[in-house]
Amino acid sequence: MKKSPEILDIIKNRRNTKIFEDREIDNSQIEILLESAIWAPNHRNTEPWRFYVVGKGSSLRNKISEGIISLQESSSGNKLTQDQKDKIYDQIYSSPPLIFVYSLLGENDEITEENYGAVCCAIQNIQLTATEMGLGVGWSTGKICKISNLDEILKLKDQLKIVGVLSVGYPKSNSKKTRKDFKTITTWL
Q: In whole angstroms, what separates CA 183 from the centre of its chain?
A: 30
Arithmetic mean of pLDDT, 12-19: 92
Arithmetic mean of pLDDT, 141-151: 96
Q: Do residues 120 and 48 make contact, with C-beta atoms less than 8 angstroms apart?
A: no
- Evaluate whether the domain defined by 22-170 bears CATH number 3.40.50.12280: no
In DSSP terms, 100 is beta-bridged to 52, 165
Alpha-carbon span 53 to 66, nearest angstrom: 18
In DSSP terms, 52 is beta-bridged to 100
What is the residue-averaged pLDDT of the chain?
95
Q: What is the pLDDT of residue 26?
A: 95
Specify the pTM: 0.93
Max CA separation in the chain (angstroms):
62
Comparing C-alpha atoms, which of 54, 48, 49 is closest to residue 27?
54
Q: Spell out the residues 6+ positions from residue 149 whose beta carbon is closer than 8 angstroms to its own.
A: 67
Arithmetic mean of pLDDT, 100-106: 97
Q: What is the pLDDT of residue 10?
A: 92
Asked whether the predicted pLDDT for residue 1 surpasses 70, the reply is no
Say what percent of the chain tops pLDDT 70: 98
Q: Where are the domains of the chain?
A: 22-170
Alpha-carbon span 43 to 136, nearest angstrom: 28
Residue 4: DSSP 8-state? P
